[in-house]
């Protein structure tokens, strides 16, 4: 019997099954009975571990293979027919060659296994933003995560109808062989293939693979944008809500900013903060000439370590039920979970992320190999669990964006906040983003790398063309958001963060919104507009206006050192970097003197 009523879906599933040879094919309808049964099956095989159902209802623990704990950028490819279209920043493989190479790896890889067919929607089914995908996978863990992270079910097939316009994702765990791990994208074929991994970002194909790499490609073609951005709403005491998006590299605090708790000074005046999204935004120009955003996801795949009652109580509460924890510590005494930075009571009787007995007394903050939880351990939790979820979360029209905020981890150069002079300059500001690397991708942690718009690992086409698309979008938005850059991570001479961060970042967002409303002045510097120190609210903080002044300082000498690096990076991207951005670079040079 045919699997669905859509012949394109059926033909493609048949073709993939002929290659991978699963014993069984199961359509995921998203029903509670089906998902419960899959969960039970995964528990019985040890793929997931059921946690204390009184303390953590419907929560489970999963451990990935030890060699499979983060996205693998070196093994991620964009396979366009012309190499130039993938650009110099992406890894490229010829599509024909890539299909052939991976076909060998997939062939027979699902023998003895079940192939699950997951119909899913990115953003609310039926929304003008919505795009549909089908992921084929032999991993129940993937099914259970996709059910949380996206909208899964038969209504997706219904909305797709007889159409061929769905994103075809194929995932096989195969042998989890690192040497043969590939995450490849064929934007011209709406296809994603992933093999030999079981880690979230590599295998939850709706997330980075579709909602960023493929979607960015589609967005350029169709005149919209797919960005690595959180979406945050700030509600004023009069009930009016203003929305901002924020682009930060992985593990730089997007989830924390997206779920912030307002500092006391704002709370008592009646301000509230609402989370629309913590990782990905799809943006379109509305009839009103503004930029409108939706979060295409339906859950959070957040970094666990450092999440606690102070840093992000909303995230903590979000993952206290119906959550899958990956690579955290298992507390055997009460069947709960733990991670570094959760609290000061590491469990004495525990298993670490590798599945070994863990001795917390040997834990050394400076030696990551002694951690109980992997630094990139994660929680997968439903957006609906989030105490500060915006009432607009499911609004098919999205929310109007007042400001776009770029940011990264910089110990010195970037000030706490600055505002771009206009859209074009803002695109330049985004394009020169740089950040110290984190554990979210394999590789060295802590070096500075250029990460334009936080999209370096996620742009499905040439980076120069991507900048060009930003400039082109600016021409279509008659009432564009203002563009800012923030840096929460400036350090003092001993390497301590100066700015308190977390919920107190709202103080900076409030200045940003005041600028958007034309309510506050700013000081012009060579890099853009910075606040007057006294305009950053510090009531309730133990830092002084002078410290804020230091945080806002623009060190011309450091910026002059940046110039050569920017030029070099543009050259590396290649000849599609728009002239406008070189003009901006020249103008910056001139302003720095
Ligand atoms: O691993 S994911 O790509 O899903 C998360 C991240 O790195 O931002
Ligand atoms: Mn991310």
Write out pLDDT tens, residues 407-424: 999 888 999 999 999 999
Single out the residue of 323, 453, 443 nearest to residue 382, CA to CA. Answer: 323
Does the pLDDT at position 1 exceed 80?
A: no
**Residue 87: how many other CB atoms lie within 10 Å:** 21
Token pair, residue 281, equals 């935004």
| pLDDT tens sequence across 96-116 | 999 999 999 999 999 999 999
Determine the pLDDT at residue 253.
85
Looking at all shown ligands, the one closest to residue 303's CA atom is 1
Token pair, residue 8, equals 């394109």
For the CA of 279, the closest atom of ligand 1 is 8
Nearest CA residue ID for atom 5, ligand 1: 201
With H, G, I as helix, E, B as strand and everything else as coil, classify residue 63. coil
How many Å apart are CA 484 and CA 420, to the nearest integer?
6
Pick from 76, 201, 203, 454 the residue to mutate for probing ligand 1's pocket: most ligand atoms within 8 Å of its CB: 201
CA of 300 to the centre of ligand 2 (A): 10
Name residues whose C-beta falls within 8 Å of residue 366's C-beta, 6 or more positions apart in sequence: none
Does the pLDDT at position 136 exceed 80?
A: yes
Which entry of 252, 275, 386, 516 is annotated as an active-site residue? 252
Name residues whose C-beta falls within 8 Å of residue 309's C-beta, 6 or more positions apart in sequence: 316, 343
- C-alpha separations of 532 from 322, 344, 416, 431, 523 in Å: 45, 39, 12, 26, 6
For the CA of 250, the closest atom of ligand 1 is 8
161 dihedral zone (left: phi>0; alpha: psi -120 to 50; beta): left
Looking at all shown ligands, the one closest to residue 204's CA atom is 1
Determine the pLDDT at residue 441.
77
Token pair, residue 163, equals 């159409």
How many Å apart are CA 563 and CA 198, to the nearest integer?
40
CA of 307 to the centre of ligand 1 (A): 16
For the CA of 199, the closest atom of ligand 1 is 1
Determine the pLDDT at residue 5.
95
| pLDDT tens sequence across 27-85 | 999 999 999 999 999 999 999 999 999 999 999 999 999 999 999 999 999 999 999 99
Looking at all shown ligands, the one closest to residue 149's CA atom is 1
How many Å apart are CA 345 and CA 328, to the nearest integer?
15
Token pair, residue 583, equals 């003009």
CA of 209 to the centre of ligand 2 (A): 11
Band of pLDDT at residue 140, cut at 50, 70 and 90: very high
How many Å apart are CA 100 and CA 96, to the nearest integer?
6
CA of 68 to the centre of ligand 1 (A): 13
Name residues whose C-beta falls within 8 Å of residue 384's C-beta, 6 or more positions apart in sequence: none
The pLDDT of 192-201, averaged and rounded, is 97
CA of 249 to the centre of ligand 1 (A): 9
| pLDDT tens sequence across 340-384 | 999 999 999 999 999 999 999 998 888 888 999 999 999 999 999
Helix (H) or strand (E) holding 294: strand 291-294
With H, G, I as helix, E, B as strand and everything else as coil, classify residue 183. strand
Name residues whose C-beta falls within 8 Å of residue 423's C-beta, 6 or more positions apart in sequence: 471, 474, 477, 480, 483
With H, G, I as helix, E, B as strand and everything else as coil, classify residue 155. helix
Band of pLDDT at residue 12, cut at 50, 70 and 90: very high
Q: What is the mean pLDDT of the chain?
A: 96
Band of pLDDT at residue 577, cut at 50, 70 and 90: very high
Band of pLDDT at residue 442, cut at 50, 70 and 90: confident
| pLDDT tens sequence across 532-551 | 999 999 999 999 999 999 99
Determine the pLDDT at residue 366.
84
389 dihedral zone (left: phi>0; alpha: psi -120 to 50; beta): beta
How many Å apart are CA 166 and CA 152, to the nearest integer?
14
The angle that helices 140-149 and 32-45 make with each other, rounded to 10 degrees, is 140
The pLDDT of 231-242, averaged and rounded, is 98
376 burial (CB, 10 Å; 0-12 / 13-18 / 19+) is: buried
Does the pLDDT at position 444 exceed 90?
A: no
Does the pLDDT at position 395 exceed 80?
A: yes
CA of 250 to the centre of ligand 1 (A): 6
Helix (H) or strand (E) holding 523: strand 523-525
Determine the pLDDT at residue 202.
97
The alpha carbon dihedral of 369, 370, 372, 376 has a sign of negative
Nearest CA residue ID for atom 8, ligand 1: 250
Token pair, residue 543, equals 């830092």
Nearest CA residue ID for atom 1, ligand 1: 201
Looking at all shown ligands, the one closest to residue 206's CA atom is 1
| pLDDT tens sequence across 268-308 | 999 999 999 999 999 999 999 999 999 999 999 999 999 99
The pLDDT of 562-575, averaged and rounded, is 96
Determine the pLDDT at residue 440.
74
The pLDDT of 153-157, averaged and rounded, is 97
Does the pLDDT at position 406 exceed 80?
A: yes
Pocket of ligand 1 (CB under 6 A): 71, 200-201, 207-208, 250, 301, 440
The angle that helices 579-592 and 556-573 make with each other, rounded to 10 degrees, is 160
**Residue 223: how many other CB atoms lie within 10 Å:** 13
| 275 belongs to the catalytic site | no
Q: Which residue has the tokens 């806002």?
A: 552
Single out the residue of 223, 231, 206, 188 nearest to residue 98, CA to CA. Answer: 188
Nearest CA residue ID for atom 2, ligand 1: 201
Nearest CA residue ID for atom 3, ligand 1: 201
The alpha carbon dihedral of 516, 518, 523, 524 has a sign of positive
Name residues whose C-beta falls within 8 Å of residue 593's C-beta, 6 or more positions apart in sequence: 526, 556
Band of pLDDT at residue 510, cut at 50, 70 and 90: very high
With H, G, I as helix, E, B as strand and everything else as coil, classify residue 334. coil
484-495 burial by CB neighbour count: b if 16+ within 10 A, else e?
A: bbbbbbbeeeee
Nearest CA residue ID for atom 4, ligand 1: 201
- Total residue length of the chain: 593
Domain architecture of the chain: domains with CATH:
7-30+72-222 (3.40.449.10), 227-297+390-592 (3.90.228.20), 300-385 (2.170.8.10)
Determine the pLDDT at residue 234.
98
With H, G, I as helix, E, B as strand and everything else as coil, classify residue 349. coil
| pLDDT tens sequence across 244-271 | 999 998 878 899 999 999 999 999 999 9
Give percent above pLDDT 90 in the chain.
94
């Amino acid at each position: 019997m045919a699997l669905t009523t859509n012949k394109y879906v059926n033909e493609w599933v048949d073709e993939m099954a002929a290659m991978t040879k699963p014993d069984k094919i199961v359509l995921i309808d998203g029903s509670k009975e089906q998902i419960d049964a899959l969960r039970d099956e995964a528990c019985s095989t040890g793929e997931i571990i059921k946690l204390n159902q009184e303390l953590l209802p419907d929560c489970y623990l999963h451990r990935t293979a030890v060699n499979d704990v983060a996205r693998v950028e070196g093994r991620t490819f964009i396979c366009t027919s012309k190499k130039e279209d993938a650009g110099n920043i992406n890894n490229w493989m010829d599509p024909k060659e890539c299909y052939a190479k991976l076909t060998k790896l997939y062939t027979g890889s699902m023998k003895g296994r079940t192939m699950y067919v997951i119909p899913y929607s990115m953003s609310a089914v039926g929304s003008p933003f919505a795009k549909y995908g089908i992921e084929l996978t032999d991993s129940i863990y993937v099914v259970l995560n996709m059910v949380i992270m996206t909208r899964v079910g038969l209504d997706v097939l219904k909305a797709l109808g007889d159409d061929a316009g769905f994103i075809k994702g194929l995932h096989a765990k195969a042998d989890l062989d690192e040497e043969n791990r590939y995450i490849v994208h064929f934007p011209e074929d709406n296809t994603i293939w992933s093999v030999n991994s079981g880690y979230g970002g590599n295998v939850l194909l709706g997330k980075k693979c579709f909602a960023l790499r493929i979607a960015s490609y589609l967005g350029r073609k169709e005149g919209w944008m797919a960005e690595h951005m959180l979406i945050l709403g700030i509600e004023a005491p009069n009930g009016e809500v203003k929305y901002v998006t924020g682009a930060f590299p992985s593990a730089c605090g997007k989830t924390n900013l997206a779920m912030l708790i307002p500092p006391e000074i704002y709370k008592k005046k009646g301000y509230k903060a609402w989370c629309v999204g913590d990782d990905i935004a799809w943006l379109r120009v509305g009839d009103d000439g503004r930029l409108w955003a939706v979060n295409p996801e339906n859950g959070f795949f957040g970094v666990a370590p450092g999440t606690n009652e102070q840093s992000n109580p909303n995230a903590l509460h979000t993952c206290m039920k119906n959550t899958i924890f990956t690579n955290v510590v298992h507390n055997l005494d009460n069947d709960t979970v733990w991670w570094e930075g959760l609290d000061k009571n590491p469990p004495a009787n525990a298993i670490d992320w590798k599945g070994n007995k863990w001795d917390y007394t040997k834990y050394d903050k400076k030696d990551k190999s002694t951690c109980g939880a992997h630094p990139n351990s994660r929680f997968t939790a439903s957006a609906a669990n989030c105490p500060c979820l915006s009432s607009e979360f499911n609004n098919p029209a999205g929310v109007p964006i007042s400001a776009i905020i770029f940011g990264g981890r910089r110990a010195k150069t970037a000030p706490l906040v600055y505002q771009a002079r206009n859209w074009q300059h803002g695109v330049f500001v985004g394009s020169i983003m740089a950040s110290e690397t984190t554990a979210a991708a394999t590789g060295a942690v802590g070096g500075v790398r250029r990460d334009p718009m936080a999209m370096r690992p996620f742009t499905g086409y040439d980076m120069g063309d991507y900048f060009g698309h930003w400039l082109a979008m600016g021409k279509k938005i008659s009432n564009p958001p203002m563009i800012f850059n923030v840096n929460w991570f400036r350090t003092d001479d001993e390497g301590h963060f100066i700015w308190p961060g977390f919920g107190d970042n709202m103080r900076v967002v409030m200045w940003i919104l005041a600028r958007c409303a034309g309510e506050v002045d700013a000081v012009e510097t060579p890099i853009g507009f910075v606040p007057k120190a006294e305009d950053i609210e510090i009531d309730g903080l133990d830092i002084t206006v002078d410290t804020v002044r230091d945080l806002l300082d623009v060190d011309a000498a450091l910026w002059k050192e940046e110039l050569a690096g920017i030029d070099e990076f543009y050259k590396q991207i290649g000849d599609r970097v728009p002239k406008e951005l070189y003009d901006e670079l020249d103008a910056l040079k001139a302003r720095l003197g």
